[in-house]
Structure 1
Amino acid sequence: MASDKFFRLVRSWLTIHLPRSRRLSPHTIRSYTTALNALLDYLRQTQKLALAEVSFDVINRSTITGFITWLLESQHLGASSANQRLAAIKSFLSYCAGEDPALVSIWLEVTQVKPARTPTRAPDGLSMAAVDALIRAPGQDTSRGRRDTTLILLTFDAAARIQEILDLTPADIDTTIGAARVTLSGKGRKSRTVPLMDKTARHLDQYLSEFHPGTTGAAGPLFFTVRAGHRHQMSQDNISYLLNKHATAARQHCSEVPEKIHAHQLRHARAMQMLRAGVPLPHIKEFLVHANISTTSIYASADNQMVREAIQRAGSATPDLAPLWTGGDDMILQLAGLR
């Protein structure tokens, strides 16, 4: 099969099928593009194939199995990231099989490739002491401090993914005391409404008055940066920077704040807090919008592990129990939509 057929299908998948038929977000499409680029890198490095030589003839179960091993051992990807690449390749081949019945056998063969085994490990959530220190770190003396406090508090309270926070508009916020809520748009463009603490609502009300005066219901980004006099949606890099800046300050008052902070740790911390407060796992699953309760069950396993570690520490030092919770190739790539 000719190479141009392979890249023609790549292009139609990335530029027509995913954005128009499946209506996937640009972020998801970039992830799929990364997976295909990684496969092309693997074929060039291990099979010495130029892009013009890549075709469906070299795609089979053995090739994709080798690709996953290469991602894990040579590229040092984690099992979860490697499995995301595998899922993207399978999705692409499923599309190709629908476009050309001659490709069905290739797709069926590749579906037999098993994902890499992912070790079950405790989520790297923050302790409540660390969360409190991080929320307090920006202070309330400056407008940026008040903005950052609100952003961190909202991310924690709603157990939101960072992209969900970035996609918010003022219209998504209701600060009514006793009935405050936020509407989040998550993976697969699914929306959910999450109740908020009154404390969070008061911070949001103050933030809206200061940064969005008279614009309740506006469609612009809730959290923004200003460049050349215009408002722009914050990026994930912006959030990472401000979190780690404030974590450095928070660490002066709380030793439980880790050296490196990422926004998802606030989501994990909220889930752990809910679990310890007695919220049933099925309710936490709905709150976090997990597809399967087995994902949510990791939090229960993490809690049990923390108990065991605390008991071990207590037994080694004193009979009294310790506190439990402490804490042209270029042209081909462009034409295929890969650049």
Structure 2
Amino acid sequence: MKSDDFFTLIRSWLTSYLPRSRRLSPHTIRSYKTALNTFLVFLDETRSLKLEQIGFDVITYSTMNEFLTWLMDTQQLAASTANQRLAAIKSFLSYCAGEESSLVTVWLDVKRVRPARTPEHAPDALSMATVEAMINAPGQQTLRGLRDTTMILLLFDAAARIQEILDLTVANVTTTAGSGQVTLTGKGRKTRTLPIMDKTGRHLEQYLDLFHPNPSVPGAPLFYTVRAGQHHQMSQDNVAYLLNKHADTARKHCPEIPEHIHAHQLRHARAMQMLRAGVPLPHIKEFLGHANISTTEIYASADNKMVREAIQKAASTTLDPAPIWKGDNDLILRLAGLK
């Protein structure tokens, strides 16, 4: 098929199929768009192919294997990120095969490409002492301090992904003592309603009184920034900046806080806390919004590893008898929905 057919299908996939038929979030669609743009850069750098020369004939099993290697070796992406780029392109080709029967062979050929192996890492959960220090760091003497305290507490209590917190609206929150809850929208636009601690509910109630005094706007973003007098949803960069700013403050009283903090560490900490409290893995899976319990099982593995390390540390005082050895590109991209 010709180049214009290739980019026409890209456009319909990005602007119609994904948002309307699949009802994917703008965040997920941006991720797919990034994968396609990266693939176009790969073809330019390794094949010297300009946009008007690109068609489905260049997408083969061999090409996609090279693309995966290029992502990790040249672009220095982690294997998990490279696999996400590959999965996005496979998803696009699956759509194309459904639209044009002649492309089924292309899709089946690329479908055989195996994802890169990813090393298993224990989740970098924060300790409870660290979580408490982070929650206390903003203080509540100022409006921003109260806002940041509420956000950090909610990130931990709901074990939420950062975008799930940013997508919350006023209508998604109930603060009634004994039955407080939040309704999060996770990956694939799946929603889950989670109970929250009364402590979190009290902070949220105080926050709502001060930052959302007008209850007639239930769809307003719960956490926001103000630009030109208008409320705008906070960005992930905003939250990352705030977390690391407060981590610097908390580190004075809790030196074990890592040099760099990210919101997912609070999610990991809550999951580990639930596991150690005896909550069954299937319940933790639903709480976290995992699609597969194998993702949740990594917390159990991490806990076993910590026990093992503690045992080895306790035994370290025992004498060791012997050491152990160890075209117009802008126009084409815009028309295809890639810009």
TM-score bucket of the superposed structures, by smaller chain: over 0.9
| Paired-residue identity, % | 70
**Deviation (angstroms), 1:216:** 6.6
Q: Which residue of 1 aligns with 2:247?
A: 247
Question: Could you list the per-position Cα deviations for residues 32-52 of structure 1 after superposition, in whole angstroms to 9, with x for gaps in the alignment?
Answer: 000001111111111111111
Give structure 1 regions of 4+ aligned residues with deviation exceeding 4 angstroms. Answer: none
Match of 2:79 in 1: 79
SS at match of 2:72: helix
Letter in 2 for 1:330: D
Checking the alignment, whether the CA contact within 8 Å between 1:3 and 1:52 is kept in structure 2 is yes
Q: Give how far 1:214 is off.
A: 3.9
User: After superposition, where does 1:170-189 map in structure 2 within 5 Å?
Assistant: 170-189=170-189
Pair 1:154–1:216, CA change in 2 (3 A): farther
Q: How far did 1:212 drift?
A: 1.1
Q: CA RMSD in A?
A: 1.2
Q: State the Cα deviation string for residues 271-296 of structure 1 (Å, max 9, x = none).
A: 00000111111111111111111110
Give the Cα separation in 2 of the matches to 1:55 and 1:209. 56
Could you tell me how far 1:318 is from its partner in structure 2? Answer: 6.8
Please report how far the alpha carbon of residue 230 of structure 1 lies from its aligned counterpart in structure 2 after TM superposition.
1.1
Paired positions, count: 331
Task: Measure how far apart 1:108 and its partner are.
Answer: 0.5
Q: Distance in 2 between matches of 1:234 and 1:308?
A: 41
3-state SS of 1:149 partner: helix
Distance 1:24 1:312 in 2: 47
1:123 is the counterpart of 2:138:
no
- In structure 2, the residue corresponding to 1:44 is in which secondary structure? helix
- Distance apart, 1:229 and its partner CA: 1.1
Partner of 2:52: 52
Q: How does 1:1-339 map to 2 (within 5 A)?
A: 1-215=1-215, 218-317=218-317, 328-339=328-339
The answer as to whether partners of 1:35 and 1:88 remain within 8 angstroms in 2 is yes
Q: Distance in 1 between matches of 2:292 and 2:216?
A: 36
Structure 1 counterpart of 2:99, which letter? Answer: E
Tell me how far 1:217 sits from its aligned partner. Answer: 6.1
> Which residue type is aligned with residue 271 of structure 1?
A
Question: Cα–Cα, structure 1 residues 156 and 117, in superposed 2: closer, same or farther, change >3 Å?
Answer: same
> How far does residue 256 in structure 1 lie from its aligned partner after superposition?
1.5
Shift of 1:169: 1.2
Q: Give the TM-score normalised by the residue count of structure 1.
A: 0.95
Corresponding residue of 2:323: none
Secondary structure at 1:183 match in 2: strand
Alpha-carbon shift at residue 190 of structure 1 (Å): 1.1
Q: Distance in 1 between matches of 2:41 and 2:263?
A: 31
Give the Cα separation in 2 of the matches to 1:52 and 1:86.
22
Q: Is the 8 A contact 1:90 1:111 kept in 2?
A: yes
Q: Secondary structure at the match of 1:75?
A: coil
Contact 1:170–1:216 (Cα < 8 Å) also in 2: no
**SS at 1:178's partner residue?**
coil
Contact 1:171 1:216 in 2 (8 A): no
Matched letter for residue 316 of structure 1: S
In the TM superposition, what whole-angstrom CA distance separates every residue of 1:140-159 from its partner, at most 9, and x where no partner exists? 11111011000000110000
CA distance in 2, matches of 1:238, 1:216: 27
- 8 Å Cα contact 1:271/1:299 also seen in 2: yes
- Amino acid of the structure 1 residue aligned with 2:223: F
8 Å contact 1:13–1:92 — kept in the other structure? Answer: yes
State the alpha-carbon separation in 1 of the partners of residues 17 and 284 from structure 2: 34
Q: Following the alignment from structure 1 to structure 2, what is the Cα–Cα distance between the partners of residues 216 and 289? A: 30
Provide the rounded CA distance (Å) in 2 between the counterparts of 1:170 and 1:98: 40
What is residue 325 of structure 1 aligned with on the other side? none
SS at match of 1:193: strand
* CA distance in structure 2 between the aligned counterparts of 1:188 and 1:149, rounded to whole angstroms: 29
Q: CA deviation at 1:317?
A: 3.5
Q: TM-score, normalised by structure 2?
A: 0.95
